[in-house]
Amino acid sequence: MQDTIRTFFNESIQVQVAAADSLVKPLERAVQLLTSSLLEGRRIFSCGDGNSTFVAQHFTDLLIHGTHLERPPFPAVTLGMNSTQPVQVDCLARQLSALGSQGDILLAFVSQHQSERVHQAMEAALSREMTIIAVTGDEAAEITSLLGPNDLEMRIPSTNTTRIVEQQLFLSQLLCDLIEQQIFHGV
């Protein structure tokens, strides 16, 4: 059993190291996009598929409550499932159609190969002239095909859903920390 435990740790560490090598520039651009949007009074919407739904909620909580600073809340909304019609595929897209505006950002956390709800949310964001930042794994071609020249993909170098979600959680915390540094410390 100890070998199995070590194997899990090693897999996670390897993905983290590979992500550190490949995501520095996309992370820097994501922080710039998110910070600019917040300073312009725009909103950040987040959503996710499967276990990445938790990551989207966590990201919003960090933006609203802060990470290390006592500060005012940032305007952030997690798109969620409709409790009266939980199988409704367009529930995230309908929320963006009702609330999203040009200049807002959709941060989509995708850990699966296909996600019709997130796909439709991204289409709604495009129709509202929002910027999309997609945090994906290596096999999300359906999602990344929707990204335009002003959008951004942060691709975690893994096809393992568990490893992707681990990195998404780390990246959500890191994004919020860096946004706070940019806005309040001018770093």
Domain definitions of the chain by residue range: 2-185
What is the percent of the chain with per-residue pLDDT over 90, rounded to a whole number?
70
Identify which has the larger pLDDT, 39 or 81. Answer: 39
pLDDT of residue 86: 56
Type and span of the H or E element at 88: none
φ and ψ at residue 182, rounded to 5 degrees: -65, -45
CB 77 within 8 A of CB 60: yes
**The pLDDT of residue 78:** 96
pLDDT for the residue 144:
80
Neighbours of 26 (CB within 10 A): 16
* H or E element at residue 142: helix 141-144
Query: Measuring CA to CA, how many Å separate 8 from each of 5, 19, 139, 162, 180?
Result: 5, 17, 21, 10, 32
Q: For residues 133 and 108, is the Cβ–Cβ distance under 8 A? A: yes
pLDDT digits (tens, 9 = 90+) for 115-153: 888 999 999 999 999 999 999 998 777 788 889 899 999
Terminal Cα-to-Cα distance of the chain (whole angstroms): 45
Q: Say how far residue 89 (Cα) sits from the centre of its chain.
A: 19
At the second CATH level, the architecture of 2-185 is 3-Layer(aba) Sandwich (3.40)
Residue 72, pLDDT > 80, answer: yes
Distance CA 39, CA 183 (A): 8
Inter-residue contact 119 to 146 (CB < 8 Å): yes
For residues 21-26, give the mean pLDDT.
95
> Is 0.85 surpassed by the pTM of this model?
yes
CB within 8 Å of 122: residues ≥ 6 apart: 106, 108, 132, 134, 143, 146
For 74-121, how does the pLDDT look when each residue is reduced to its tens digit (9 = 90+)?
Answer: 999 999 876 555 567 788 899 999 999 999 999 999 988 778 889 999
pLDDT, position 85: 58
**How far is the C-alpha of 89 from the C-alpha of 60, rounded, in Å?**
22
Task: Give the per-residue pLDDT at 60.
Answer: 97
Distance CA 21, CA 70 (A): 32
Q: Which pLDDT belongs to residue 84?
A: 59
pLDDT of residue 186: 63
